[in-house]
DNA sequence: CGACCGATTGACT
DNA sequence: GTCAATCGGTCGG
């Protein structure tokens, strides 16, 4: 079953759970990197906190496209965040990847993060949505990218047990701060804010 | 066109 | 805990 086929069956909330434990692989000229998704948030069209709430614009158009592609956006004048588009085309559902656990290419990530040859916590590499994109060299050139293809690939793994997942409220919002649409792998060190 | 502000981070009190 | 950095998206006039 293709990535798109599997992800288009789910809404953002279901996919946020399903994507925990999946791996992201990034191939660049300076080397390959990979990591395991350990923290996600769900954003859907009827959610006032979602970029898609007020309808389709140039910026958020990836959210309205087919499942299995990326939605990368630029924010705060300096950061990129990576989403995975899910659900049927035309219906804006996406999962924000908030943290990954590095598995390969750690020194390239250090270099991309400006931490090469510096003393730092291992978790500082990828324990936040803009940290992981910086570590993996993900920017707007990878917006709307088919995540079944190089140079940025997503591979689903077996679903986790719900007893291994913590569900809580999302981070950084000014409204809907009470909706429990953030999910992370219990006790994982790379979670942005336990 | 001007003004406001954000799905963040890092430095600092 | 507070706050500046930094700029494109979005909306009001």
CA of A57 to C1' of B12 (A): 38
What is the structure's pLDDT at A5? 97
Has residue A25 got a pLDDT over 90?
yes
φ, ψ of residue A185 to 5 degrees: the values are: -75, 125
Q: What is the pLDDT of residue A94?
A: 98
Confidence band of A181 (pLDDT split at 50, 70, 90): very high
Output residues with Cβ under 7 Å from nucleic strand B.
A 41, 43, 49-52, 63, 71, 75-79, 81, 83, 94, 96, 98, 113, 124, 128-131, 170-174, 192
Q: What is the mean pLDDT of chain A?
A: 97
The footprint of strand C (CB < 7 Å) covers: A 51, 54, 57-60, 74, 76-78
pTM score: 0.98
The per-residue pLDDT for A24 is 98
Q: What is the mean pLDDT of residues A7-33?
A: 97
- Residue A39 is predicted with a pLDDT of 98
Q: Collect all residues with Cβ–Cβ distance below 8 Å to A50 and sequence separation of at least 6.
A: A43, A44, A63, A92, A94
Which bases of chain C are under 7 A from a protein CB atom? Answer: 5-11
CA of A18 to C1' of B13 (A): 42
CA of A46 vs C1' of B11, distance in Å?
37
Interval A114-138 mean pLDDT: 96
Q: What is the DSSP letter of A162?
A: G
pLDDT digits (tens, 9 = 90+) for A65-97: 999 999 999 999 999 999 999 999 999 999 999
Q: Tens digits of per-residue pLDDT, A133-163?
A: 999 999 999 999 999 999 999 999 999 999 9
For A148, residues 6+ apart whose C-beta sits below 8 A from its C-beta are A2, A3, A4, A68, A154
Rounded CA Rg of chain A: 15
Distance of CA A61 to the CA centre of its chain: 17
* Cβ count within 10 A of residue A52: 24
Please state, as a whole number, how many other Cβ atoms lie within 10 Å of the Cβ of residue A25: 19
* pLDDT for the residue numbered A117: 87
């Amino acid at each position: 079953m293709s990535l798109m086929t599997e992800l288009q069956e789910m809404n953002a909330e279901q996919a946020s759970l399903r994507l925990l434990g999946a791996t992201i692989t990034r191939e660049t000229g300076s080397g390959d990197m990979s990591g395991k998704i350990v923290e996600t948030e769900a954003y859907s069209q009827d959610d006032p906190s979602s970029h898609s709430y007020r309808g389709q614009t140039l910026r958020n158009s990836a959210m309205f496209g087919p499942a299995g592609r990326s939605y990368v956006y630029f924010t705060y004048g300096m950061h990129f965040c990576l989403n995975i588009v899910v659900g049927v085309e035309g219906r804006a559902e996406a999962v924000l990847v908030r943290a990954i656990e590095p598995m390969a290419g750690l020194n390239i990530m250090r270099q991309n993060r400006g931490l090469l040859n510096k003393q730092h916590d291992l978790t500082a590499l990828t324990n936040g949505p803009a940290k992981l994109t910086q570590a993996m060299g993900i920017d707007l050139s990878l917006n709307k990218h088919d995540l079944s293809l190089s140079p940025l690939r997503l591979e689903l793994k077996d679903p986790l047990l719900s007893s291994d997942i913590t569900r809580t409220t999302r981070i950084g919002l000014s409204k809907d701060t009470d909706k429990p649409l953030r999910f992370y792998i219990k006790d994982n060190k790379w979670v942005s804010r336990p």
